[in-house]
A and B are shown apart, each in its own frame.
Chain A
Amino acid sequence: GENVEQHPSTLSVQEGDSAVIKCTYSDSASNYFPWYKQELGKRPQLIIDIRSNVGEKKDQRIAVTLNKTAKHFSLHITETQPEDSAVYFCAAKGSSGDKLTFGTGTRLAVRP
């Protein structure tokens, strides 16, 4: 089945700096890659997603890039703000149906 690895597990940045979180996946047939933000005690919230026919997608301060050859995708957050502090999860939808396989999460702390 699909296996998703995520790095780093924790990330601390100064407010205004950029943050990058990277994920790799194992199933070359995976075709959908969402990113979720989860604040403490809250639901995972979809922040951006990308499909395998696209290399990059941007939404204001958030961007995701996908390298199908290398089987990795990354989340980029620019001009970070304290409210960006949360745990971020990447996920991949493999060839075996509609379920998502999640990475282990990155705890992002933005220092004011």
Chain B
Amino acid sequence: NAGVMQNPRHLVRRRGQEARLRCSPMKGHSHVYWYRQLPEEGLKFMVYLQKENIIDESGMPKERFSAEFPKEGPSILRIQQVVRGDSAAYFCASSPRDLGQPQHFGDGTRLSIL
């Protein structure tokens, strides 16, 4: 029973490049959430998606950040023109269709900006 799969585990980018982070939810889960964790801090909600729909993006910066969860394939968090402040661990979580179910996290992608 595979859990939430994220890749890559580590990603290094230079300032101004693009970063693409991928998340495949657990089997049977149709809700995906992205959270950001800065070193020594808690997790901050970014965006909540269902297949082909963004449900809540209230935690995502208006510029440079975008997310999608297509009908086929993983959810993608895309950061354009990365800056040093984007360095963080980005975690994806998934939950089943029914609201109020527990969210299970992937291993995260650690993004480092040179």
Contact = CB atoms under 8 A, between A and B. Distances in A.
Given A43-B107, A44-B91, A97-B55, A102 B102 contact: no
Contact of A46 (B33, B100, B102): B102
B99 A98 contact: yes
A99 B35 CA distance: 10
Interface residues of A, number: 25
Interface string B85-111: 000000100010001101111111000
A81 interface: no
A89 B59 CA distance: 19
A36 B42 CA distance: 11
A61 interface: no
B108 A99 contact: no
Interface in B33-67: 33, 35, 41-45, 48, 55-56, 58-59
A31 interface: yes
Contact of B59 (A34, A51, A99): A99
Given A34-B102, A44-B91, A46-B102, A102 B55 contact: no
Given A98-B48, A98-B55, A98-B95, A103 B104 contact: no
A97 B100 contact: no
A85 B102 CA distance: 23
B22 interface: no
A100 to B, nearest CB: 6
B48 A44 contact: no
Nearest to A9: B40
Interface of A: 1, 6, 31-32, 34, 36, 42-46, 49, 51, 89, 93, 96-105
